[in-house]
Chains A and B, each alone.
Chain A
Amino acid sequence: MKAVYFAWVRERIGHGDEEIAPPDSVSDVAGLMTWLIARGEQYAHAFENPKVIRVAIDQTHVKHDAKIAGAREIAFFPPMTGG
């Protein structure tokens, strides 16, 4: 699946998108963030306060307990500040 990052999440991780292949044991969004954190310091920095991170699966907002099976694109970003 493709992971995409925006705003300071993107800056902290150092790139805007990447292909990721989490193991089957990673079933939901919260688990995926924990798995990403283990990938390195920059991920740990981006996800240091997971509660504030907003997530979208295939361009629809989801909660952290959403299942990731079948997702093509998962986006991680800070609270939105448009308008």
Chain B
Amino acid sequence: MATVRVQAEDFDPVAEAGALTLGRTDVGAVVTFTGLCRDEGGLLDTLELEHYPGMAERELERIVAQAEERWSVQGIVVIHRYGAIKPGERIVMVAVSSLHRGEAFCAAEFLMDYLKTQAPFWKRQKLADGTSGGWVEGKEADDEAAEKWKRA
């Protein structure tokens, strides 16, 4: 069971993760990750997230399918927002349920590492002083994080 959503609206991580266990007695572990918009020490006013409609959903579904193939998981939720996001707001969430914690931890980390480098989203910063902070550059650390799953 997998849920993938790309949306402008906020989401409720507790309710979304709760859906993975609702009415079930066979789930042993739920790992939830939520990514938030930082204020960058007060410098950031808004994060503007551009995405490739259609491909964003498809790519997230492909990443979810890879996780399901690799680990024995019971359920996955991936939600990613686009549009204007203010400091403190949620950007992304990943939740994974499984029989034991190991699979859920690994799959959740894999999903986030792959999503950051493979899902077509781009962040641009609008700064508190009214200027544009420009497009956020891809981090080498994120590429390395995704790369480690190929060796593992």
Contacts and interface: CB of A to CB of B under 8 A. Distances in A.
Contacts of B144: none
**A-B pairs, 6 with minimum CB distance:** A82-B121, A79-B138, A83-B116, A59-B55, A7-B122, A81-B136
Nearest to A8: B135
A77 interface: yes
Interface SS of B by simple majority: mixed
A19 B55 CA distance: 19
Interface of B: 35, 49-52, 54-55, 58-59, 80, 91-92, 112, 115-124, 135-138, 142
13 contacts: A6-B122, A60-B55, A75-B52, A77-B52, A77-B122, A80-B122, A81-B121, A81-B122, A81-B136, A81-B137, A82-B51, A82-B121, A83-B119
A56 B52 contact: yes
Range of interface residues on A (Cβ < 8 Å): 10 to 19
B55 A56 contact: yes
A59 B135 contact: no
A31 interface: no
Contacts of A80: 116-122, 138
B52 to A, nearest CB: 6
A77 B120 contact: yes
Contacts of B116: 80-83
A61 interface: yes
A6 B138 CA distance: 14
A82 B80 contact: yes
Nearest to A61: B118
A83 to B, nearest CB: 4
B87 to A, nearest CB: 16
B117 to A, nearest CB: 6
Given A7-B135, A61-B118, A81 B123 contact: yes
Nearest to B139: A81
B137 to A, nearest CB: 7
Which of B49, B51, B112, B135: most chain A Cβ within 10 A? B135
Interface in A4-33: 4, 6-8
